[in-house]
Chains A and B, each alone.
Chain A
């Protein structure tokens, strides 16, 4: 096995034991990155020299007995909405051509403090306002979309061009590309992780979170991003339990809500079969499957759009007036049209969110977690705009990918996606585990239990170098 194929946990164990050199690991990941980047287009920019220097520093620190923890010496990528001091945060947009970040974002600072090795910035759909990330290709089939908007982060992790990465999620932008590329993605509870220094799409829906190869890896990253010494913590006195890797395979006592509406409507047969198969395995581990009704499902898209569209337009108010021609056409027209929504539309969406949070809270009193497909179909072909469903309805590809992710953004609850199989074409399928607010430990534990009983990992995407 090449070093770039190691999971974060495997690499961290080896580094901690003195069996793996961070410099060699980083060198291997950079070599892999260079071998696949032309085919995948995952990165906006790669900081090769900085990465090699950071890895060498990590090696010296560890040799001197100053081991900082599991992320020490581990190479990672950052979605290019996340500030690193002295580097452009391009948001994959020409609008940001001259941008240079003055300071590190809070999450980047956390990772630097943990000793992680920054590789570079990964592509996003422009300003995170889309679900495809057109600059990047799916790690499993380059004729397919990466998904978005954290497409570069997901593809880099899937291909071995980063051991982990961070993304952002406003309507599924971590979970969608994670699912489409066969990796794990976690959208934490709203506000669990600071968005300071992260370019916003929609303030009230935005979340930052990890993408990794395994649930265990995602838990390690989340632990590093939280903790007691944050200078940008949610608030004083907020308990931060950490997210220790779980070895527990027994799910006895876990009540998993299985939606009887919405989440399995207009879902491809391969996706439904894989998710229900994964749920059967979790039942075998002792979990109780409980049917649940998803409340206010008819209003999910209206609420998501009623919040996101005016907030995004407000964020871009100045640039839309000064340099509108620099936006990609799909993003520009959404921002312009957003000027025509009323305050009444926005307030109705915020009031609907109140109702939705209350109603979801009641469902999450009946069950511990809710399990569902992450996305209704595997990766679409590049250029495909519309999905036709067997019931005769059609839907835009973007709407389809947001549909099952948006409720966790509106309600702010944690949502984890993990791979649960592949379709006939070999494309990855993701399952989503959603928990109560601040229930990260629960969804991570449930995900790790599922992961622990799989017959070996699926491994990296088979990208030809």
Chain B
């Protein structure tokens, strides 16, 4: 299903379900942009994540003094 594209009407319904009513003249443009974004992010479905958890916002590291 990953390559299924939203139609303008479907994009409007999805947006409405997310609480964002869109004026009719915006449906096609938003659908096209959403489909483009989806085409990029769906690449991540190729990855086998196994037990990998989502990243935290913390980076663990100790500061260095730049010595070689």
Q: A302-B40, A302-B43 are in contact. Are A355 and B52 (CB under 8 A)?
A: yes
CA distance A309 to B43 in the complex (A): 15
Q: A251-B68, A347-B54, A351-B52 are in contact. Are A239 and B62 (CB under 8 A)?
A: yes
Taking each of B47, B60, B64, which has the highest tally of chain A beta carbons within 10 Å of its own beta carbon?
A: B64
Interface size on B, residues (CB 8 A): 39
Where chain B touches its partner, the secondary structure class is: loop
Complex contacts, A368 vs chain B, CB 8 Å: 68
The distance from the CB of B46 to the nearest CB of chain A, in whole angstroms, is 8
Q: Are A355 and B47 in contact, CB atoms less than 8 angstroms apart?
A: yes
- Chain A 333-362 per-residue mask, 1 if CB under 8 angstroms from chain B, else 0: 110111111000101111111110100000
Taking each of B19, B29, B37, B65, which has the highest tally of chain A beta carbons within 10 Å of its own beta carbon?
A: B37
Closest to A435 in B: B64
The distance from the CB of B50 to the nearest CB of chain A, in whole angstroms, is 9
State whether the Cβ of A445 lies closer than 8 Å to any Cβ in chain B. Answer: yes
Q: A321-B20, A347-B54, A442-B64 are in contact. Are A305 and B37 (CB under 8 A)?
A: yes
State whether the Cβ of A439 lies closer than 8 Å to any Cβ in chain B. Answer: yes
Q: Are B34 and A340 in contact, CB atoms less than 8 angstroms apart?
A: yes
Contact pick for B55, options A345, A350, A436, A445, CB 8 Å? A350
CA distance A101 to B63 in the complex (A): 33
State whether the Cβ of B4 lies closer than 8 Å to any Cβ in chain A. Answer: no
The distance from the CB of A459 to the nearest CB of chain B, in whole angstroms, is 27
The distance from the CB of B20 to the nearest CB of chain A, in whole angstroms, is 5
Contact pick for B53, options A191, A340, A351, CB 8 Å? A351
State whether the Cβ of A398 lies closer than 8 Å to any Cβ in chain B. Answer: no
CA distance A298 to B40 in the complex (A): 11
Where chain A touches its partner, the secondary structure class is: helix
Q: Are B63 and A337 in contact, CB atoms less than 8 angstroms apart?
A: no
CA distance A412 to B46 in the complex (A): 23
Q: A302-B44, A341-B41, A348-B41 are in contact. Are A438 and B64 (CB under 8 A)?
A: yes
- Interface size class, chain A: 35 or more
The distance from the CB of A462 to the nearest CB of chain B, in whole angstroms, is 34
* Interface residues in A430-446 (C-beta closer than 8 Å to B): 436-442, 444-445
CA distance A189 to B30 in the complex (A): 34
CA distance A348 to B41 in the complex (A): 9
Complex contacts, B62 vs chain A, CB 8 Å: 239, 438
Q: Are A189 and B29 in contact, CB atoms less than 8 angstroms apart?
A: no
- Chain B 27-44 per-residue mask, 1 if CB under 8 angstroms from chain A, else 0: 001100110011011111
Contact pick for B20, options A298, A339, A345, CB 8 Å? A339
Complex contacts, A239 vs chain B, CB 8 Å: 62-63
Taking each of B19, B42, B47, B63, which has the highest tally of chain A beta carbons within 10 Å of its own beta carbon?
A: B63
Contact pick for A354, options B22, B52, B64, B68, CB 8 Å? B52
Q: A336-B30, A340-B11 are in contact. Are A444 and B68 (CB under 8 A)?
A: no
Q: Are A320 and B41 in contact, CB atoms less than 8 angstroms apart?
A: no
Q: A350-B55, A436-B61, A437-B59 are in contact. Are A336 and B26 (CB under 8 A)?
A: yes
Q: Are A204 and B68 in contact, CB atoms less than 8 angstroms apart?
A: no
The distance from the CB of B63 to the nearest CB of chain A, in whole angstroms, is 4
Complex contacts, A338 vs chain B, CB 8 Å: 37
Contact pick for A336, options B22, B54, B55, CB 8 Å? B22
CA distance A302 to B38 in the complex (A): 9
CA distance A224 to B67 in the complex (A): 21
CA distance A6 to B34 in the complex (A): 47
Q: A305-B37, A321-B20, A368-B68 are in contact. Are A354 and B14 (CB under 8 A)?
A: no
Q: Are A340 and B44 in contact, CB atoms less than 8 angstroms apart?
A: no
Closest to A361 in B: B61
Contact pick for A357, options B19, B29, B55, CB 8 Å? B55
State whether the Cβ of A241 lies closer than 8 Å to any Cβ in chain B. Answer: yes
CA distance A278 to B40 in the complex (A): 34
Q: Are A306 and B59 in contact, CB atoms less than 8 angstroms apart?
A: no
Q: Are B43 and A298 in contact, CB atoms less than 8 angstroms apart?
A: yes
Closest to B49 in A: A351
The distance from the CB of B38 to the nearest CB of chain A, in whole angstroms, is 7
Closest to A242 in B: B65
Q: Are A303 and B44 in contact, CB atoms less than 8 angstroms apart?
A: yes
Contact pick for A253, options B22, B55, B68, CB 8 Å? B68
State whether the Cβ of A93 lies closer than 8 Å to any Cβ in chain B. Answer: no
**What are 15 A-B interface contacts by the 8 Å CB criterion?**
A190-B59, A240-B63, A241-B64, A252-B68, A339-B14, A339-B15, A340-B14, A340-B15, A340-B34, A341-B38, A348-B41, A351-B49, A355-B52, A412-B59, A438-B62
Report the 7 A-B pairs with minimum CB-CB distance, sorted nearest first.
A441-B66, A437-B61, A350-B54, A253-B68, A337-B33, A353-B55, A438-B61
With A190-B57, A299-B43, A348-B41 already in contact, 18 other A-B pairs whose C-beta atoms are closer than 8 Å: A191-B57, A191-B58, A191-B59, A241-B63, A246-B66, A252-B68, A333-B29, A334-B33, A340-B11, A345-B41, A351-B47, A351-B53, A354-B53, A354-B54, A355-B49, A357-B55, A436-B64, A437-B60
